[in-house]
Amino acid sequence: MKWKNLAVNLALALASTLLTLGAVEVAARLYLTRLAPERVFNRYASLDQLTARHGRPRFVAHRYLGFIPAPDFSNGLNRHNSLGYRGEEIAVPKPEGVFRIVAIGGSTTYSAGVEDYRQSYPYLLQEKLRAAGYEQVEVINAGVFSYSSLENLMNFQLRVLELDPNLVIVYEGVNEIATRMIWPYSRYRGDLSGFEKRLLSFEPPWWEQITLARAALIYMDRIEPHSTLQRNFMIALGSFLGDTFVSQQLDGEYPSGVFERHPADEILATNRPVYYERNLRTLAAIAEARGIAVLFVSFVHSPEFPEEPRAWAEEYVAAYAEQNALLAGIAADTPAFFYNLAAVMPTDAEYFTDGIHFSASGNELRADFLTDYLLNSGLLPPP
């Protein structure tokens, strides 16, 4: 009888616990899908919930590039055209008389700091050039989140050349530094095989369909949110130390672990931007052979964002300067052009959203600087 009563009590306790967890799960799911602020929903929602609310995802898999902006994507004030470029529809083949500029780079070219595509720098550059009398100019935003110089080169060859551009503007820097934060040094390779692996599909495990489990794991930084590129398309490898560096800087623990033996400045000094230079020189050579002008633009960052070490850590600051100098060197001995935006762009917090990505006013100002440069560079045809 005693054991029977114990078994009954355990069964009742288990049933009560399951009912309680079920009720909490239902409440958490209702809160997340109906009451939570958008930023909370986007961080903790499942892939199915994100798709149900936002429709098709912002990015889709690509056989060689890993992922590209999803064609015909639309969410609020943001949109991609039918070819997967941020902004309005464009004609292919290029219409007679159009002078086509294509902006190449990562999220800083895509202009991830603004939700309205009309506040992105390529769109603003187009409008300013047209207002200056160059109505035949068209600027296409070919920026893609996380793209380094290797993906930018491949994007140029596989997607941009078919647009028949007259000029390409290359702006990127922070993603390239990430590809150099590799240890052991033998894993630093031009094909990025020591940096990350790419996925062509993402299927969350069953336990991440449980709201409580998924939210707890995301909150504790045990897994990436289902909304992130890292979860959908990329797997960081153990030899990549960029995220560890950022976490240690934010927690005040740098240098610890591997950085005690190999500080970040040593890693970046050993893993020189040789592949960065190789990829950009290759892009410039292909463009020259096709009669396309190339404009390299130096990378800008603001140190006024303590939550973003990539914008102020001395190791990153030195790497930005090194890469910007390399851009100037490439332009000096090739037909490519170089514009030193970093020398004129103010770094006040109002022009950035996180120290790396520009705000709406920042995009407005850098479009102003680029417009002035293009109007006086001889790169444009007569208006």
Percent of the chain with pLDDT over 70: 97
CA 371 to CA 127: how far, in whole Å? 10
Residue 4: band (very low, low, confident or very high) from pLDDT cuts 50, 70, 90: low
In a domain, 142, yes or no: yes
From 55-64, 269-278, 361-370, the region with the lowest mean pLDDT: 55-64
103 bridge partner residues: 141, 169
Three-state DSSP at 184 gives coil
Among the ranges given (71-80, 84-93, 230-239, 343-352), the one the predictor scored with the smallest mean pLDDT: 230-239
85-110: average pLDDT: 97
How long is the chain? 383
Domain annotation covers residue 373:
yes
Looking at residue 363, which CATH number applies to its domain?
Answer: 3.40.50.1110
pLDDT-derived band at 85 (thresholds 50, 70, 90) equals very high
Average pLDDT over residues 150-165: 98
277-293 exposure pattern, b = at least 16 Cβ within 10 A, e = fewer: bebbbebbeebeeeebb
Q: What is the pLDDT of residues 129-145, one digit of tens each?
A: 999 999 999 999 999 99
68 vs 230, residue with greater confidence: 68
Q: What is the DSSP letter of 86?
A: B
How buried is residue 14: exposed, middle or buried, by Cβ count under 10 Å (0-12/13-18/19+)? Answer: exposed
E strand or H helix that includes residue 62? strand 59-62
Q: Which domain holds residue 348?
A: 71-181+268-377
Instruction: Answer yes or no: is 24 within a domain.
Output: no
Is residue 33 in some structural domain? Answer: no
Mean pLDDT of the chain: 92
Q: Is residue 258 part of a domain?
A: no
Is 70 exceeded by the pLDDT of residue 295? yes
The 3-class secondary structure across 248-310, one letter per residue, is HHHHCCCCCCHHHHCCHHHHHHHCCCHHHHHHHHHHHHHHHHCCCEEEEECCCCCCCCCCCHH
In this structure, is residue 237 part of a structural domain? no
Alpha-carbon torsion 336, 340, 341, 347, what sign? positive
CA dihedral 160, 161, 164, 165 (to 10 degrees): 60
Q: Rounded CA gap, 20 and 6, in Å?
A: 21
d(CA 235, CA 258): 20
What pLDDT is recorded for position 380? Answer: 95
Q: What is the pLDDT of residue 20?
A: 80
Residues 6+ apart with CB under 8 A from 332: 338
pLDDT number for residue 1: 59
**Pairing mode, strands 78-79 and 167-171:** unpaired
Count Cβ atoms within 10 A of the Cβ of residue 140 and give its class: 0-12 exposed, 13-18 middle, 19 or more buried: buried
Ramachandran class of 191: left when φ > 0, alpha when ψ lies in -120 to 50, beta otherwise:
alpha
On whether residue 276 sits in a domain, the answer given is yes
Nearest Cα residue to 169 out of 383, 377, 382: 377
Tens digits of residue pLDDT in 246-290: 999 999 999 999 999 999 999 999 999 999 999 999 999 999 999
**How many CA atoms within 13 Å lie on the side-chain side of 91?**
8
DSSP classification of residue 56? S
Between strands 167-171 and 99-105, the pairing is parallel
Which helix (H) or strand (E) segment is 339 a member of?
strand 337-339
| 19 assigned to some structural domain | no
Q: What total of structural domains would you count in the chain?
A: 1
Q: How confident is the model at residue 183 (pLDDT cuts 50, 70, 90)?
A: very high
pLDDT in tens, 7-23: 666 776 777 777 887 88
Q: What does the buried/exposed string (b/e) look like for 97-113 if buried means 16 or more CB atoms within 10 Å of the residue's CB?
A: eebbbbbbbbbbbbbbb
Of 216, 276, 273, 266, which is closest to residue 241 (Cα–Cα)? 266
